[in-house]
Structure 1
Amino acid sequence: MDSGTDVVSDAPAEGSEVEPAPRTGWFGAMPGWKKALVVLTALVLVMVTGIAGAGWFLYHRYDAKVERAALMPSRPAEAVARSEENWQSGPLNLLLLGSDSRAEENGGTSPIGERSDTIILLHINKERNHATFISIPRDSYVYVPPGGGWKGGKNKINSAYAFGGAPLTVETVTALTGVPLDGAVIADFASIREMVDAVDGVNVCVESKVTSLHTGRVWQPGCHDMDGGTALDFVRQRYGVEGGDFGRMKNQQLVVQATIAKVESSGALKNPLELDTLLGIAADSLTVDEDLNLRDLAFAVRDIRATDIDYRTVPARTASLKTSAGTAVELDPELSKAMFAAAAGGTMEEWLYEYPQTGRP
């Protein structure tokens, strides 16, 4: 196992009435808000998150650090009412956007939202004991509704953010998936550096060779120790990666999984100072919809463990579709439709069981 700072040379079905198994070990015995933090820390590293709260003190302490904005488009009253019901007792579907401001490359002046490099549909089941991150390739060729200077039509999905920000992206993802969204969150991609450093680095097991076009680093297949800067460099790579954007999405997922493992094993959640650092980083990196209640989000994921999280990518037919917008990703119409229907209908776990490998990058 090498140092991640060095250049490596080129050589049960949802809805069942079965009682959940007792949770054992220190993680299972943790207070609910700390369990929520483990999952929410993971969300930060996938470019989205919420913050956990132990009562009013922690809620107000960290909620005040989070930026608020109108990320959701206007919705009819019945859609708002349906979403409120979902927050109480139904499955939840949130749009998670990663904004890679690369502020350090532009004198620290680039605002969050300048680039949207990650688009994820987060599905949380109604039992609140399982979550699925569904990555949508940024170059997916889809219908983008009218917005900004765009008159509507087929385009790459990440163009929605450029034309109309998060609200138009929400409309685009809803049109693509048929999944009514219950909230939206943006996180600054660069927060990975601070989060990984806060847990003294992570060990990431790379599945295929990755070459950094920014620093010249090369990661061969195998496990690598990474500090925050190295992890950020690693997950930003798109062109020096097998599978292109699909490979990058997979690598983002690998860093998230490694960080969850490090948070769980390092004892950071038991150390007040380290805990405060993690929560502060998470909160500072976030922009959340003005109507999203972070306490509700923390409550929704408080019982989800690292082993309760699945990662998938929307199935694609080809990544070399020739379009007027350039080379794009053509999603698999049948498999993606089935995946989206599972998210909309609250049967995601059944879909994952039926297609255990489908949708992986």
Structure 2
Amino acid sequence: MDHPPRNGQGDRRPARPRQEEPGRRTAPPRRPAPRREPVDARRTAPPPRRPQPRPAPRARRNSFRGAKIALAVVSLLVMGLTGYAWAAMQGLVNGLNYANVISDGGGGDKPADGARDILLVGLDSRTDAQGNPLSREVLDELRAGDSDGELNTDSLIFVHIPNDGSKAVAMSLPRDSYVDIPGYGKHKINSAYARAMLQARKDLQKQGVTDPKELDVKANQAGAKELIETIEKLTGSTIDNYAAVNLLGFSDITKAIGGVDVCLNNNVKDQYSGANFTKGQHTISGVEALEFVRQRHGLPNGDLDRVVRQQVFMAGMARKVLSAGTLTNPGKLSDLIDAIKKSVVLNQNWDIFGFAQQMKGLTGGQLEFRTIPVKNVEYKTPEDGTAIQVDPAEVKQFVQSLAGPQPGQTAPPANQADPANKATTVDVRNASGKTGLAASVAKTLDAKGFTSGDTANATARKTTVIWVPKGGKDKGQAVADALGGSPTIQEDKSVSAGHVMVFLGSDYQGTASDASAGSGAAAGSSSQAPAPPPVADEDKPITAEGVPCVN
């Protein structure tokens, strides 16, 4: 393992458990690869679950032939389906593993709020999707440790997709995030699954259940439900679908598609994960892929750098699977489907055919990866050592800003001013280097009902950020909605009450009126404003276009 064991068992009340049992899915030995290492996943009572319409029967028409369909199954693995691929997908659906982890009508065809929220989980499990234990040979190959080792969730990704399938925003939740786990108190988020799973196993054994496979399947379902509830509570959203993949499955999937292109800023050599790569670009698969996405020791930002690695790797997977070379190669496609069948578990009632239709036409640039905001990466906890501190209110706001209006919320029609905006004075700072942008954006905001403040140039910065006074994040969100995009909103004591200050970074692609030639600042406002300090998610969002170099 590349990290110290997580507390894992739990006692359904705020007890402090220890882990002792294995986890969920992986597959029997397949094609050994010459190296090592893993991936991880969790339930309970969040906001009231959305009412789900009864799925209507869906015709499997030949009209899908020739249509490009992006299917996000797990780890944002995307399958573009054409001709042979569409026929093969029917075999995939028939052989998938399903678990009863979302209740009250979850997983329906079209969630009632007009969007689909999916939890993707990478499990550090020593069993396959059917509950069969991995062999010693396979565990050694993956550097997975003992077959009765810990079970945690190494990768947690919350995906938001509007019903028109126009884009997908994937938000990573660092595994060491210190959050409230319903029924267990505050702990690292990656232990939620194991705590509930191990407690459920004990309860089942007390009830007389002895079959190892039955114990594994039911205990893992309890773990998944706990994880789902934990993330619903943190994000304020309701999970509609759930997909989990185990470590061997991840390894096999990367081999099936012929590897993924990645790029590193520096040479790395890590004894914990086994990662040993030189600076520059590599095509990796199998155990090397696991080593790449699991390393955190020796990286400048620890777990946050690992999150970025996982994001660029999954973006690379999407790019590779969407390529014609994967989809039109019967051998590769067959291997990919076999790997998914062995290692992926989905929630019951997930209409994969309907989902594929919803996602048709998704391209690499419409697949965007973000990371939730964090406050302190060296947070000292009472019981769990060093963790990552997060603010649930900030996380909810961040998720909502990327997801758009929630059920019951309506935005003003385009180009129509909202009367409530008049109470907010907006000052605009041009840090983008684009001449005239501050004046142009100020004009746009004025047209949307905001009171115009002053404009000025500012020290260059990459990302757009909105400063608000204490307690003014709702005002900042209104400005962000008017501008479009997903600017970060943060409180700053230098901002006066009733004001909002917008710093336009070089990434700004939002709404703006036609800029007139000349300075980026309005006349008489040529002062330089200092750039705000770095914030979480500082860099441009990762997409499935290109191969960015990372730590």
TM score, norm. by length of structure 1: 0.75
Match of 2:459 in 1: none
Aligned-partner residue type, residue 188 of structure 1: N
Q: Does 1:354 align with 2:487?
A: yes
Match of 2:11 in 1: none
Match of 2:202 in 1: none
Q: Does 1:329 align with 2:388?
A: yes
Change (3 A) 1:142 1:53: farther
CA RMSD of aligned residues (A): 3.6
Match of 1:156 in 2: 188
Match of 1:196 in 2: 254
* Structure 1 counterpart of 2:115, from 91, 105, 110: 91
Give distance in 2, aligned partners of 1:135 and 1:242: 18
More deviation, 181-190/225-234: 225-234
User: Does the Cα contact within 8 Å between 1:209 and 1:220 map onto a contact in 2?
Assistant: yes
Match of 1:183 in 2: 241
Change (3 A) 1:105 1:89: same
Match of 2:98 in 1: 68
| Residues 248-327 of structure 1 mapped to structure 2, 5 A cutoff | 248-265=306-323, 267-324=325-382, 325-327=384-386
Larger helix proportion, structure 1 or 2?
A: 1
Residue 175 of structure 1 deviates from its aligned partner by 0.8
Secondary structure of 1:187's counterpart equals strand
* Cα deviation code 1:111-165 (max 9, x no counterpart): 999332111101112321100111101111111111xxxxx32111122101220
Give distance in 2, aligned partners of 1:308 and 1:282: 24
Residue 292 of structure 1 deviates from its aligned partner by 1.9
Give distance in 2, aligned partners of 1:155 and 1:217: 28
Secondary structure of 2:125's counterpart equals coil
Aligned-partner residue type, residue 375 of structure 2: R
Match of 1:24 in 2: none
Give distance in 2, aligned partners of 1:31 and 1:293: 21
User: Does the Cα contact within 8 Å between 1:178 and 1:344 map onto a contact in 2?
Assistant: no
Aligned-partner residue type, residue 198 of structure 1: A
Residue 326 of structure 1 deviates from its aligned partner by 1.7
* Structure 2 counterpart of 1:35, from 66, 69, 73: 69
Give distance in 2, aligned partners of 1:89 and 1:145: 25
Q: Does 1:142 align with 2:320?
A: no
Match of 1:149 in 2: none
Secondary structure of 1:114's counterpart equals coil
* Cα deviation code 1:266-294 (max 9, x no counterpart): 61212233222222222322111122222
Residue 189 of structure 1 deviates from its aligned partner by 3.1
Match of 1:13 in 2: none
User: Does the Cα contact within 8 Å between 2:82 and 2:327 map onto a contact in 1?
Assistant: no
User: Does the Cα contact within 8 Å between 2:371 and 2:537 map onto a contact in 1?
Assistant: yes
Secondary structure of 1:239's counterpart equals coil
User: Does the Cα contact within 8 Å between 1:211 and 1:237 map onto a contact in 2?
Assistant: no
Aligned-partner residue type, residue 314 of structure 2: V
Match of 2:165 in 1: 128
More deviation, 248-257/273-282: 273-282
Give distance in 2, aligned partners of 1:287 and 1:224: 30
Give distance in 2, aligned partners of 1:84 and 1:30: 25
Identity of aligned residues (%): 29
* Cα deviation code 1:9-30 (max 9, x no counterpart): xxxxxxxxxxxxxxxxxxxx98
Secondary structure of 1:353's counterpart equals coil
Give distance in 2, aligned partners of 1:190 and 1:261: 21
Larger Rg: 2
Give distance in 1, aligned partners of 2:374 and 2:397: 13
List gaps (5 residues or longer) in structure 2: 1-33, 36-63, 127-133, 197-222, 407-476, 489-506, 508-534, 540-551
User: Does the Cα contact within 8 Å between 1:124 and 1:132 map onto a contact in 2?
Assistant: yes
Give distance in 1, aligned partners of 2:149 and 2:87: 27
Give distance in 2, aligned partners of 1:299 and 1:84: 14
More deviation, 170-179/89-98: 89-98
Match of 1:22 in 2: none
* Structure 1 counterpart of 2:224, from 166, 169, 181: 166
Change (3 A) 1:292 1:260: closer
Give distance in 1, aligned partners of 2:264 and 2:302: 15
* Cα deviation code 1:73-102 (max 9, x no counterpart): x44xxxx48x74744781110111111225
Structure with more contact order per residue of length (Cα contacts < 8 Å, sep ≥ 6)? 1
User: Does the Cα contact within 8 Å between 1:87 and 1:296 map onto a contact in 2?
Assistant: no
User: Does the Cα contact within 8 Å between 1:125 and 1:346 map onto a contact in 2?
Assistant: no
Aligned-partner residue type, residue 187 of structure 2: N
Residue 308 of structure 1 deviates from its aligned partner by 0.8
Residue 311 of structure 1 deviates from its aligned partner by 0.5
Residue 240 of structure 1 deviates from its aligned partner by 3.0
Secondary structure of 1:197's counterpart equals helix
Give distance in 1, aligned partners of 2:244 and 2:274: 29
Aligned-partner residue type, residue 341 of structure 1: Q
List gaps (5 residues or longer) in structure 1: 7-28, 147-151
Give distance in 2, aligned partners of 1:51 and 1:87: 23
Change (3 A) 1:221 1:145: same
Secondary structure of 1:71's counterpart equals coil
* Cα deviation code 1:52-81 (max 9, x no counterpart): 697995454112321111222x44xxxx48
User: Does the Cα contact within 8 Å between 1:45 and 1:189 map onto a contact in 2?
Assistant: no
| Residues 206-217 of structure 1 mapped to structure 2, 5 A cutoff | 206-214=264-272, 217=275
More deviation, 168-177/276-285: 276-285
Give distance in 2, aligned partners of 1:31 and 1:143: 47
Change (3 A) 1:243 1:101: same
User: Does the Cα contact within 8 Å between 1:49 and 1:185 map onto a contact in 2?
Assistant: no
Aligned-partner residue type, residue 128 of structure 1: G
Residue 184 of structure 1 deviates from its aligned partner by 1.1
Give distance in 2, aligned partners of 1:289 and 1:111: 25
User: Does the Cα contact within 8 Å between 2:157 and 2:170 map onto a contact in 1?
Assistant: yes
Secondary structure of 1:158's counterpart equals helix
